[in-house]
Amino acid sequence: MNTLDFPGRDALIAALDDAVALGDDRSVTDALRKRLCAMIGEKEVQLPECVFEPIADHYARRELYTSPEHGYSVIAMTWGPGQGTKIHDHSGMWCVEGVWHGRLEITQYELAERNDQLYRFTPVGTIEAGTGSAGSLIPPHEYHTIRNPSDRSVAVSLHVYQRTMVRCGVFSPEEGQADWQRRGERLLGTDQVVTH
């Protein structure tokens, strides 16, 4: 378990514990979304400075906490200018994502058709989310992309996953088959957390 300390950490964990204890996915994610929005706005929690430092060749994933009691994990993601993801899923687990700093562009997709490992998606909406906003993904509605639309500024988001996410499905265009994506598994790691 990560024991990283930062101002407001205990208040953040208490709020997340209360929400996760509600039990059913819809109630949990609704409560998490509301609590994240409030905490970002109130500025009681101050994330470690390292989460505002991008990594040049990929968005950064930094583990802040994993609950020994409830199993959820908290990951801070740092998005350098223009950095983003391919279409991906969360391997069947819910997630609540809050924009801590900057802006993110999130596009949600619905599965239109599947043929073995080939998938065809329909985009169902894109939002540009600013600091203090949060959204949730509950399977089967979990296909999405995230991107920092700025060409100058860093964005930071806080992700609360149902449990530690060690892999996800990532979708890449299938050569010679317009509109089809092939699903691959990506093992997820975390980038080092450095405290100053």
Q: Prior bond to 140 cis, omega within 30?
A: yes
pLDDT (tens digit, 9 = 90+) per residue, 112-162? 999 988 999 999 999 999 999 999 999 888 999 999 999 999 999 999 999
Q: How does the average pLDDT of the chain come out, rounded? A: 92
Binding residues for Fe cation: 88, 90, 144
What band does 43 get if pLDDT is binned at 50, 70 and 90?
Answer: confident
CB 195 within 8 A of CB 48: yes
pLDDT band at 1 (very low <50, low <70, confident <90, very high): very low
List CB contacts of 40: < 8 A, sequence separation 6 or more: 98, 99, 100, 131, 132, 134, 158
Any alpha helices (H) in 23-110, and if so which ranges?
A: 25-42
Q: What confidence tier does 196 reach under pLDDT thresholds 50, 70, 90?
A: very low
Average pLDDT over residues 48-73: 94
3-state SS class at 32: helix
**Residue 19: φ, ψ to 5°:** -70, -45
Residue tagged 């997630």 (tokens) = 95
The number of angstroms, rounded, from the C-alpha of 174 to the middle of its chain's C-alpha atoms is: 25
Domain ranges within the chain, ordered by starting residue = 9-187
pLDDT at 195 over 80: no
More confident residue, 108 or 140: 108
From 3.90.550.10, 3.40.50.10860, 2.60.120.10, 1.10.8.80, which CATH number describes the 9-187 domain?
Answer: 2.60.120.10
Instruction: Specify binding-site residues.
Output: 88, 90, 144
